[in-house]
Amino acid sequence: MGEGNHAVRDSVTLYNAKGFTVIRTGMMMLVKYSGHIGNGSWDSVQCEYVLPAELRPPVEVNGMVCVSNGQTARMLIVNPEGIIRCANMGAAGSNQNCVGSLCYPIP
């Protein structure tokens, strides 16, 4: 590989289980969730993997998650303590499958 392929060589899957995937690619973090959670208004599922301090965002990072029935707002969240979770955001919950991802830069 040439020098322009550093991101490919620097890509490391840190966690890939129970619907969560956490990848470090160069100076970027990619977090993905694909699965389902309970149908309560505020139900959530938390990743077993906690990000080490050097890979945590300085502020909470979140992104919308698409739900297969399109009926509920759901968020994928990474907080400064390294905790990763996917959560229903009030109103009517849904236990339908969902998928979403987010990325953020690391120093």
Of all helices (H) and strands (E), which one includes residue 78? strand 74-78
DSSP letters along 5-36, please?
GHHHHTEEEEEEETTEEEEEETTEEEEEEEE-
* Distance in angstroms (rounded) separating the CA atoms of residues 41 and 18: 21
Please state the pTM of the whole predicted model. 0.86
Q: Which tens digit of pLDDT belongs to each residue from 73-82?
A: 789 999 999 9
Give percent of the chain above pLDDT 90: 64
Give the strand order in the sheet containing 44-46: 11-17, 20-25, 28-35, 98-105, 61-67, 74-78, 84-88, 44-46
Q: How far is CA 29 from CA 17, 36, 98, 107, in A?
A: 17, 22, 20, 11
Q: Which tens digit of pLDDT belongs to each residue from 35-52?
A: 988 888 889 999 999 999
State the pLDDT at residue 2. 45
